[in-house]
Structure 1
Amino acid sequence: MNSFLESFYANGALLVMWGALIFHLLIPIPQSAHPIYYWRRLAIAVAGKVNQPTSTAPQQAFSGLLAWALFILPTIAVLLAMQSLAWQAQFYQLALLLLALDWRGNETLTQLLIRGLSKEDKAYVRTTLQTSVNRETSPLSLIGLGKASAETLILGYSRRVIGVLFWYGLLGGIGALIYRLAMELARSWSPAQPHYQHFGKPALVAFSLLDAAPQKLFALLIMIGASRQSITSAIEQSRTWHNPITNWLLCGYANKFGLSFGGPAMYDSTKYQRARIGGKIVPSAYHLAVLQKDIAWRIYIWLMLQSTIMMMIHKGF
């Protein structure tokens, strides 16, 4: 393991990371042409074949486990095999990290949501938001749309940027891409949707294991500069949030800016009651802009910290 890490960092891992970020921000891959788009479509198509509604709950869960293994394990084997055949290891790592990152996509989505909320155009925000969430957006009021938009913005950046960078730092481009692919499977087969209630649990558990460390570390980072009261409230409210992986992050931001998150969420006509967290301020277009700016600064700090750690490892400290 030590020899692998030494080889990885000696091959310009830090330059690859910054190069991928620059390329991604300057020349993003169109969403409709991105391999991730076809990965999601394939995941839904496969689930439609193997997830039988007449099967028992254990059978559906086992089918979900086999489907997850069918997607992830051969992908890891192919990526490892291609790594040994790559002409230049740095370009190969660069390509994988580019496929995993989605900073620009989150920026674009946020700008569209800010535009719709500023005009109080509920139909526009519902349509825009529906492409990025599994929950039903059609019954959401302007208040609900503001909450959903803020939650989507925070989780989008924390997973598609921070989570990807975290796993790149540990396991290179392969680690970053596998994390992103696992995230897309967990989203495509989300157990919050009734027809994936059992089938999607293995994918969710696997992704939660990958997602826990970057989410918790980023949550600690965003609380820098927050008041003691907001930190205390965030810790208390995190115990009531349904997702133990994202509870620190969402409760932290909700209390830091006094924003109201949570409440009922509808998935395929099934209503789920979620805890209400944060303050009493309903997120608006202005608050989305503030959140985006704050998250961007936290990502820059993360990049500096990760770059420093990678340099120290390369030098043998």
Structure 2
Amino acid sequence: MTELPTPFGALLDHSTLLAMWGALILHWFYPIPANITPLGLWRRVAVAIAEKVNHLEDPPAQQRLAGTLSLAIMWLTIAVLLIALKQLVWTVWLFDLLLLWFALGWKPISVAAYNVEQALNRDDKPTARTYLSKILNRDTCSLSQVGIAKAGCETLLAGYARGLIGVLFWYAIGGGIAAFLYALIVQLARCWPTRRQEYADFGLATAAFLTVLDWLPNRLFALLIAAGLRFNHAIEAIRLNGNQWSANGIGWLLASSGAKFQVALGGPAIYDNDKVSRPTLGGIITPSSLHLAMLNQQLRQKALIWIVIQSFFMWFAHGFL
């Protein structure tokens, strides 16, 4: 077959990179509604399975075993199906594009954070709590204005880290299948959070798996956030407090961003009417809607830098492979 003339032949040679940009553009303009996305169906299945096999009266070891088996059966089944399906598709780059589009999830969180910020500016706490409840994995009814701003900042950080950065990182490693499988683990961790009593043992395997998957991309993103103004303060905060939070890198993100804006993040939180003790990270200034707006803008800029850097590395690596 005659080769396509440039630039089309060159474009097809970089189809993985083009699929990434295509999925990002699609997600920016047409994010899939949560009620029809494949990840939404996955969450409903996860909740249904947990209701069947997770019993609080069972010994902790049995709950951990049930959680591990549930994770393995669900996740490995989808992995095998996707790998088999990839062998049948005619256009691999389109297959990758669709899977990456399904996996991305930062745009709704960014929009919700903006709506929370606007509601706080109007002193409309009920509306702010309503918007926050759509992206926060705990009850928001009792949150004060400061609590709403702090929870909004933390959720925005986690949303960018796991809804964009982690997805793109694993896409670069293993294509659309790896990105989608990573997103499935993120959703399982949200469905079976270990901070809630009923999932304290059942969700341990999923939380540990997500910790491994998040270890490198979250730390790299935390360093990217630290770059620029107050870099030394952010690095010092990461060194002193970054590992107090957890092993999956979220502590690095909170410490870096908190030091960057001198705002206090973390601290106690309410899960199912139980007060959970969490370390305070970052600065000493009480969070407000201003900090939420600044963080949203900063994360958008840093995410764009990440995308450009990853695109360059993917293009550069293609030249050697």
* Higher relative contact order, chain-length normalized (CA < 8 Å, sep 6+): 1
* TM-score bracket for the superposition, by shorter chain length: over 0.9
Count of residue correspondences: 309
What is the deviation of 1:259?
0.7
Partner of 1:211: 214
Output the aligned Cα RMSD.
1.5
> 1:124, CA displacement in angstroms?
1.7
Task: Show the 5 A alignment for 1:136-175.
Answer: 136-175=139-178
CA distance in 2 between counterparts of 1:110 and 1:217 reads 23
Aligned sequence identity (%): 38
> Which amino acid in structure 2 is aligned with residue 229 of structure 1?
H
List runs of 5+ in structure 1 lacking aligned partners. 1-8
**Segment drifting more, 13-22 vs 107-116:** 107-116
Is 2:303 the counterpart of 1:299? yes
The question of 1:255 aligning with 2:251 is answered no
The SS at the match of 1:33 is: coil
TM-score (norm 2): 0.92
2:135 match: secondary structure: coil
Question: Which stretch has the larger CA shift, 94-103 or 229-238?
Answer: 229-238
Measured after TM superposition, the shift of residue 11 of structure 1 is 5.8
Residues of 2 paired with 1:66 and 1:244: CA distance? 22
Shift of 1:280: 2.3
SS of the residue 1:240 aligns to: helix
**Paired letter, 1:107:** S
- In structure 2, distance between residues paired with 1:292 and 1:316: 37
- Aligned match of 1:234: 238
Aligned to 1:48: 51
Q: Which residue identity does 1:207 align to in structure 2?
A: L
Decide which moves more: 248-257 or 132-141.
132-141
Letter matched to residue 236 of structure 1: L
Aligned mates of 1:134, 1:103 — CA distance in 2: 15
User: 1:58, 1:286 → 2: CA distance?
Assistant: 46
| Alignment-mate amino acid for residue 260 of structure 1 | A
Q: Which amino acid is the alignment partner of residue 279 of structure 2?
A: A
Say if 2:101 is the partner of 1:131.
no
1:195 equivalenced with 2:198 (yes/no): yes
Q: How far apart, CA to CA, are the structure 2 residues paired with 1:213 and 1:279?
A: 24
Q: Deviations over 1:54-101 (max 9, x none)?
A: 110000000000110111001000001110111211111111000001
Amino acid at match of 1:140: L
2:243/2:252 contact within 8 Å kept: no
Are the counterparts in 2 of residues 135 and 268 from structure 1 also a CA contact under 8 Å? yes
| Structure 1 counterpart of 2:268, from 248, 264, 268 | 264
Equivalent position to 1:176, from 156, 175, 179: 179
Which segment drifts farther, 266-275 or 59-68?
266-275
Shift of 1:134: 2.3
* 1:109 equivalenced with 2:94 (yes/no): no
